[in-house]
Amino acid sequence: MPAQVRLFMCLKDNFGALLHDPGSGKTAAIDAPEAAPVEAALKTAGWTLTDILVTHHHGDHTGGIAELKARHRCRVVAPEGEAGGIPDVDETVKEGDTVRVGGIEGKVIETPGHTMAPSTLHFPADKLVFAGDTLFSIGCGRVIEGSMEAMWQSMLKLRALPDDTRLYCGHEYTLANIKFAKTIETDNASLIAREMHVQRLIADKRPTLPSTMGEEKAANPFLRADLPEVAQAVGMAGAPAADVFAEIRNRKNRF
């Protein structure tokens, strides 16, 4: 049976997500920004929390872990390179490791840049990816702990995922990201189409996620820094892709 996902808001603009295996009844929270919205989502779905899969150590992704762990005695799985900054960790994972939630099987893709060793969690059979704060829809996370070169390499790793993979990420930033992306690629038809779709979703008070990796590859400037037209658009024709990526990321920081 295919995995089921429930998406909900936490804190100011964080997404919480539950990943449920109907076969075994197991349910994982992908990150735990705060406990109460996770509890509410569990109650609505009628699911029991068995696991918390943590993408990275930031407090707005880990603040609910201790309370949820105390109540549900769930397993907490965290990136090996960041486990010291995450409460109540039971297991650590690194690049290429397998994560199981009942019968659902995922692979860990280490995507350094936003932090030193975050886990992006890819579930190939279910065509799902949870990218934390590494990749957003039409955006990417701030490069805080890693280098621009490392973040660009992380973008390339995620760009290699199949087009029909559904993308979930840590924040509802999509509309603001689109506004910025239009300053880079002013006449990208896929970007305009995504904007129209996102505006309809927001008008209907619905989340703008998931998107698909196909949509992101066509419209997310941070995944497109090695395309000649994107380098040209920022006045860097012929420059290394990581430098073009850095220029776009720096422009976004000032936007």
Residue 61 Cβ, how far from Zn ion at the closest point, in Å? 6
Nearest Cα to Cα of residue 92 among 102, 101, 100, 81: 81
What is the nearest approach in angstroms of Zn ion to the Cβ of residue 218?
25
Nearer to Zn ion, 133 or 215 (CB): 133
CB of residue 130 to Zn ion, shortest distance in Å: 13
- Residues in contact with Zn ion by CB under 5 A are 58, 133
How many other C-beta atoms lie within 10 A of the C-beta of residue 207? 15
Write the DSSP symbol of residue 185: S
Q: How far is the CB of 128 from Zn ion (least distance, A)?
A: 20
Q: Is the Cβ of residue 17 or residue 241 nearer to Zn ion in the bound state?
A: 17
**Considering the complex, what minimum distance in angstroms separates the CB of residue 32 from Zn ion?**
13
Closest CA to 79 of 59, 61, 98, 57: 57
Nearer to Zn ion, 194 or 249 (CB): 249
**Coil, strand or helix at 127:** coil
Is 4 strand, coil or helix?
A: strand
Q: Which residues contact 58 (CB under 8 A, 6 or more apart)?
A: 115, 133
Residue 20 vs 61, nearer CB to Zn ion: 61
- Measured from the CB atom, the residue of 75 and 114 that comes closer to Zn ion is 114
